[in-house]
Amino acid sequence: MTRPQRVNVVPHTHWDREWYRTFQDLRLALVEVLDALLDDLAADPALTHFLLDGQVAAVDDYLELRPEREAELRAHLRSGRVATGPWYTLPDEFLVSGETLVRDLELGMDRAEELAGREGAAMAVGYLPDTFGHIAQMPQLLARAGLDHAVVWRGVPGAVDRTGFWWEAPDGTAVRAEYLPTGYGNGARMPDEPSAFLARLDAWIELVGDLVRDDPILLMNGTDHLPHQRGLPPLVDAVTAASAGRFDVGLSSLQEHLAGAPTDGLPHWRGELRSSARANLLPGVTSNRVDVRQAAARTERVLEQEVEPLWAAFAPAGLWPGRALDVAWKAMVRNAAHDSVCACSHDEVVDAVHHRYAEARQIGDALLAQGLRLVGAALAGDDQVAVNTLPRARGGLVRVSRPGHRPEPGEQLLAATPPLTLLHTLPATAAPAVLESELDVRPPIHGVAFVDADDGALELHLQTDRTARGRFPARPSVDRMRSLADAAPHRVVRIQVADAARRDVLRRVDGVPGYGWAPVAPAPVAPVTAADRRLANGLASVEVDAEAGTFALDGHAGLGRLVDDGDAGDTYNHCPPDRDVVVDGPEAVVVRMGEPGPLRASLVVDARYRLPERVDDATSSRVGGRDLAVSTVLELRAGEQFVRVTTTVDNVCEDHRLRAWFPLPQPTRTSAAGCAFATVTRGLDVESGPTETGVATFPSRRFVQAGGLTITHEGLPEHELVDIQPGSGATALALTLLRATA
């Protein structure tokens, strides 16, 4: 007689904190779901397990509105009847930094232990049921957090032919991965009638075929935002009885299932999981909202590479700004949730994501300024110093404010107008008296400029010049301010002082030691020159093609060609329309001089393109026409061997994808891109699946390299090797600047 096949039913819910509904809307739904769950846990001892989605945020979100049930929920977390963690939120792995993933795990595991009141309370499973593909180093991240198991769905390649496989990171660390062949809802809403339950189970077994064999079956009883299924304990017993010895069905925790899952003879996979073969990967999330990608990258940079190293290296330990950083990181980790950062969401959700990034960055910016003041206070003397928050020695341009009017050798004068210092922000009615006292106490003032600021405020620039003689007659300016205040009493007024005896200049510093500092003494460097559509600094030269709007770097031409094609897809997937129109050249180009050098020089390429306005759904073709203005700044700095490119687009068209193409010095079949704690090499081919066409667009973190060209960037643009020639490979790399789908 054969033994019955074990079926482990794991009751759970998958809780996207925010997505097509706002956070607060979904949280009120979460309160209903967890209220009902706690009621049933109290009433029915046979309800032995519930998986709260592997993310502790759901617990905190609930308890904020239901503090009266905290003791009850904590008791279930302590006993393990309710499992949560190890994550704080279930992250997207490609759209946030490796450090953010580490903080997400740390926060989740610490908070799970705190709530449960015992060590090791977080679920010891790297549960990633819905994430849009998985980074190469995830096995290493999980193993270093003490986790031996991963649970994944999207991105698993066709080569994996079991529900379990060994997943290895580039460093060689492997974890056992449980593959959910049809996702995390294969046991959601099971029929209440045993024979119907069995029919559904048999249909699933037939669907997944050899993937499961006679291994224990994992039935994930729950899905997106679903309440727990009532009456489950007696139902599974009835199903076992009705199966006539074929199945042994029971409630289980995910950890219990994995403890009994096979480990011998499993397939092996090394590196990232980005295949469309078995489930929709949704790769277009990398390019749907470049503004969110840029906000994420900027905030990660200030926290990870500036503030934390600065304070760790230079500030006394007792001053470590731990609480402020915790607030910033909590915002980062909340944003890391896959349906938050992916930005395939309600507009209000994307606004909330931006707001969290802004707050985290504001904390970072403020701590950076405070930290630099601490360094300054600790250093004797008045010399300005450059501080390096990275481990390697480096140099570059720094902006300094110093006395005097003219540039000295090795400097570039920045602002023709003197630098401004804000003294007061106040309503117009209060301004005349304050202005009068400032003019009284702050000689030598030699003029007051009234300036209408862009934000609607009135700015008063008090001009000071230590060389001026005589006393400035204050009365006319005060009278003028009084009459302006009478006309607009609520207008915001900013009183600023402009020190005409100071100037902002650029200087180049060299060899600032890693985690160290050096005086800002101008370093000798060959100047950069700008003339006649050409920039040169002795190390690199840039020349603009004024017809094509492209540029050459050291004679390698055609770089930065903008190519616009149609996109009939959505925020998750790019999809070319049936009848596409590809625009790959401008209607008009104007090249003008930006900065002149000698340390920083730039050319500005203003181009006008004529693009179809949208994709007509009925005919799947691009229709209409609009002008699109694109401004590209090419900047070369003294002492640098690369060109900096900044492209600004005010998008006016729908349903399209705008990419910058870079012809490669040599054709290639591979690209290498930065990823979380790894460089990942990808080829030209990707797997397709029954419901998604694989596309060879990939994310890169900070850099991508192909065919002798390296592009570094902030934000996370997707790239693709394009213009593939039979026999030789790709001849260009395309970088997505924006994808706009309606």
In whole angstroms, the minimum distance from the beta carbon of 661 to Zn ion comes to 34
Which CB sits closer to Zn ion, 299 or 345? 345
Residue 282: Cβ-neighbour burial (10 angstroms; 0-12, 13-18, 19+): buried
Residue range at the interface with Zn ion (CB under 5 A); choices 130-138, 145-153, 225-233, 249-257: 130-138
In whole angstroms, the minimum distance from the beta carbon of 568 to Zn ion comes to 25
In whole angstroms, the minimum distance from the beta carbon of 539 to Zn ion comes to 48
In whole angstroms, the minimum distance from the beta carbon of 102 to Zn ion comes to 21
CA distances from 450 to 420, 434, 470 (A): 14, 15, 22
For residue 467, the cross-strand partners are none
Sign of CA pseudo-dihedral 75, 78, 81, 83: positive
- 8 Å CB contact between 343 and 18: no
- 8 Å CB contact between 601 and 538: no
In whole angstroms, the minimum distance from the beta carbon of 153 to Zn ion comes to 10
The answer to whether residue 93 forms part of the interface with Zn ion (CB under 5 A) is: no
Which CB sits closer to Zn ion, 132 or 551? 132
> CA 577, CA 585: separation in Å to the nearest integer?
20
DSSP one-letter string for 582-599? -B-S-SEEEEEEEEE-SS
Residue range at the interface with Zn ion (CB under 5 A); choices 127-135, 382-390, 444-452, 712-720: 127-135
In whole angstroms, the minimum distance from the beta carbon of 16 to Zn ion comes to 4
Residue range at the interface with Zn ion (CB under 5 A); choices 8-16, 313-321, 377-385, 701-709: 8-16
Which CB sits closer to Zn ion, 691 or 725? 691
- Non-local CB neighbours of 261 within 8 Å, separated by 6+ positions: 163, 164, 176, 178, 215, 216, 218
In whole angstroms, the minimum distance from the beta carbon of 254 to Zn ion comes to 16
Q: At what angle do helices 98-116 and 57-65 cross, to 10 degrees?
A: 50
The answer to whether residue 130 forms part of the interface with Zn ion (CB under 5 A) is: yes
> CA 81, CA 74: separation in Å to the nearest integer?
10
The answer to whether residue 16 forms part of the interface with Zn ion (CB under 5 A) is: yes
Residue range at the interface with Zn ion (CB under 5 A); choices 10-18, 153-161, 322-330, 623-631: 10-18
In whole angstroms, the minimum distance from the beta carbon of 25 to Zn ion comes to 16
In residues, how long is the chain? 742
In whole angstroms, the minimum distance from the beta carbon of 54 to Zn ion comes to 11
Which residue's Cβ has the minimum distance to Zn ion? 130
Residue range at the interface with Zn ion (CB under 5 A); choices 128-136, 288-296, 457-465, 498-506: 128-136
- Non-local CB neighbours of 712 within 8 Å, separated by 6+ positions: 642, 702, 703
* Phi and psi, residue 636, nearest 5°: -120, 135
Which CB sits closer to Zn ion, 130 or 718? 130
Count of residues binding Zn ion (CB under 5 A)? Answer: 2
Strands 529-531 and 420-427, by their bridges, are: unpaired
> CA 115, CA 121: separation in Å to the nearest integer?
9
What token pair was written down for 156? 């698993």
> CA 541, CA 557: separation in Å to the nearest integer?
11
Which CB sits closer to Zn ion, 61 or 130? 130
What token pair was written down for 409? 């050798």
What's the angle, vertex CA 138, arms to CA 134 and CA 144, rounded to 5?
Answer: 165
In whole angstroms, the minimum distance from the beta carbon of 15 to Zn ion comes to 8
Residues 325-364 that bind Zn ion (CB under 5 A): none
- Non-local CB neighbours of 604 within 8 Å, separated by 6+ positions: 591, 592, 593, 594, 631, 632, 633, 634
Name the strands in the sheet holding 644-649, side by side, starting at the edge strand that comes first in the sequence.
588-596, 600-611, 626-637, 644-649
Residue range at the interface with Zn ion (CB under 5 A); choices 9-17, 525-533, 621-629, 695-703: 9-17
Which CB sits closer to Zn ion, 81 or 225? 225
Which CB sits closer to Zn ion, 130 or 595? 130
Which CB sits closer to Zn ion, 224 or 256? 224
Which CB sits closer to Zn ion, 104 or 168? 104
In whole angstroms, the minimum distance from the beta carbon of 18 to Zn ion comes to 11
In whole angstroms, the minimum distance from the beta carbon of 349 to Zn ion comes to 13
- 8 Å CB contact between 81 and 48: yes
Which CB sits closer to Zn ion, 90 or 109? 90
Which CB sits closer to Zn ion, 89 or 668? 89
Which CB sits closer to Zn ion, 236 or 273? 273
- Closest residue by Cα to residue 57 from 18, 96, 10, 95: 18
Kindly state the DSSP code that residue 419 receives in the 8-state scheme.
P
Which CB sits closer to Zn ion, 16 or 18? 16
Residue range at the interface with Zn ion (CB under 5 A); choices 59-67, 125-133, 410-418, 668-676: 125-133
> CA 584, CA 293: separation in Å to the nearest integer?
25
> CA 63, CA 428: separation in Å to the nearest integer?
46
What token pair was written down for 79? 């006993």
In whole angstroms, the minimum distance from the beta carbon of 158 to Zn ion comes to 23
In whole angstroms, the minimum distance from the beta carbon of 150 to Zn ion comes to 16
> CA 92, CA 73: separation in Å to the nearest integer?
27
- Non-local CB neighbours of 643 within 8 Å, separated by 6+ positions: 535, 540, 542, 551, 553, 634, 635, 636
Which CB sits closer to Zn ion, 14 or 659? 14
Which CB sits closer to Zn ion, 135 or 645? 135
Residue range at the interface with Zn ion (CB under 5 A); choices 16-24, 97-105, 360-368, 614-622: 16-24
Q: Is 550 helix (H, G, I), strand (E, B) or coil?
A: coil
In whole angstroms, the minimum distance from the beta carbon of 311 to Zn ion comes to 35
Binding site for Zn ion (CB under 5 A): 16, 130
